Amino acid sequence: MSKILVELQVNGESHELAIEPHRTLLEVLRENLGLTGAKEACDLGECGVCMVLMGGKPVLSCLVLAADAQGQEIVTIEGLAQGGKPHPLQQAFVEHGAIQCGYCTPGMIMTAKGFLNSHPAPTEEDVRKAIGNNICRCTGYKKIVEAIMDVASQNAVQSGEELAKV
């Protein structure tokens, strides 16, 4: 099978790669780019541990062909922290103890990030439904939902302050 040239934008960096057309974005992230934050588990789109952002939306990278991700901005868990400072969602997951073994955490955080991008003021039920594609087998979902709701309410306060400034 002949390889094709693909240019991927991952975490703000451009990568040019020669890959086979049947390789998934997840495989290329983990094996070609060494970004092992997105995990490979069910590989069938059921567990959510491979979630990354593509064009600002969370996608299951095990079900996206790498060639199909060309021209889209991809963000993985490695790209969230800025200047050594954890992203507010990462901070909230730590503070709420929403992590145990940590395996589902990158996927949970990327789903939450994508969800809050388009739903800045969700209800708890909205959050529970949004992470319905992400499976956690340790903590249960209570602390995870609390951490996401915490960030959502911080966002609400911030946007309120910004509005007050204007």
- Smallest distance, Å, CB 162 to other proteins? 27
Residue 82 in 3-state DSSP? strand
Binding of other proteins at residue 31 (CB under 8 A)? no
Residues 6+ apart with CB under 8 A from 142: none
Contact residue for other proteins among 35, 67, 98, 108 (CB under 8 A)? 67
- CA distance linking residue 35 with residue 37, whole number of Å: 6
Between 90 and 129, how does the x/- string for binding to other proteins read (CB under 8 A)?
---------------------x--xx-------------x
**Could you give the 3-state DSSP secondary structure of residue 65?**
strand
Q: Which of 15, 32, 43, 88 binds other proteins (CB under 8 A)?
A: 43
Pair of tokens at residue 34: 């060494």
Residue 13 pairs with which residues in a beta bridge? 10
Query: What is the smallest separation between the CB atom of 160 and other proteins, expressed in angstroms?
Result: 26
* Dihedral sign (CA 12, 18, 22, 27): negative
| Footprint on this chain of other proteins (rule: CB under 8 A) | 1, 20-24, 27, 43-46, 48, 51, 57-60, 63-65, 67-68, 111, 114-115, 129-130, 132-134
